[in-house]
Amino acid sequence: MIEWIVQHIFEKYNYWISIVLMLIGFYAMIAKENLLKKLIGLSIFQTAIFLFYVSLSDVGTGWGLRFGTAPIVWEHGIHEGYMYVNPLPHVLMLTGIVVAAATLAVALALVIRLYEEYGTIEEEEIMEKEMEIERGT
């Protein structure tokens, strides 16, 4: 039992953290009324996915005993017992970070425009004002 816990929870703590972060972000995106808080949720969600990818490339036991290092090919080839981290997920996440930053930039620009238009960033209040404008015309 204890072995199971150690194996599935403590040794894989990075995955658990990413799942918890993902759920926090997801909750904020769905439940929060404030438009900026929704975006913060989106950001947390995306970051959690980056963490998940980076965790995938990790090797070693995770207890500080044997860690993977940078994947470098030496002049005389790779020596025995050389553990290296898979670089591909990191590269993918560089693209992912760029995409996330772009999404966030567009979203923030939208929030600014919404604030200029309605003077608030609470979703309920914006909807009320939209109703008022509709009735007025």
**Binding residue for other proteins (CB under 8 A) from 34, 56, 71, 84?**
56
How many amino acids of this chain bind other proteins (CB under 8 A)?
Answer: 30
SS (HEC) of 15-61: HHHHHHHHHHHHHHHHHCCEHHHHHHHHHHHHHHHHHHHHHHHCCEC
Is the CB of 5 or the CB of 131 nearer to other proteins? 131
Look up residue 57 and give its two tokens: 């490339």
Over the window 60 to 99, marking each residue x when it contacts other proteins by CB under 8 A and - when it does not, the resulting string is ----------------------------xx--x--xx--x
The helix/strand/coil state of 121 is coil
Is the CB of 65 or the CB of 120 nearer to other proteins? 120
**Binding residue for other proteins (CB under 8 A) from 36, 40, 85, 111?**
111
**Positive/negative CA dihedral, 89, 67, 84, 81:** negative
Distance CA 122, CA 89 (A): 37
Distance CA 15, CA 53 (A): 10
- Which residues contact other proteins (rule: CB under 8 A)? 26, 29, 35, 38, 42, 45-46, 49, 52-53, 56, 88-89, 92, 95-96, 99, 102-103, 106-107, 109-111, 113-114, 117, 126-127, 130
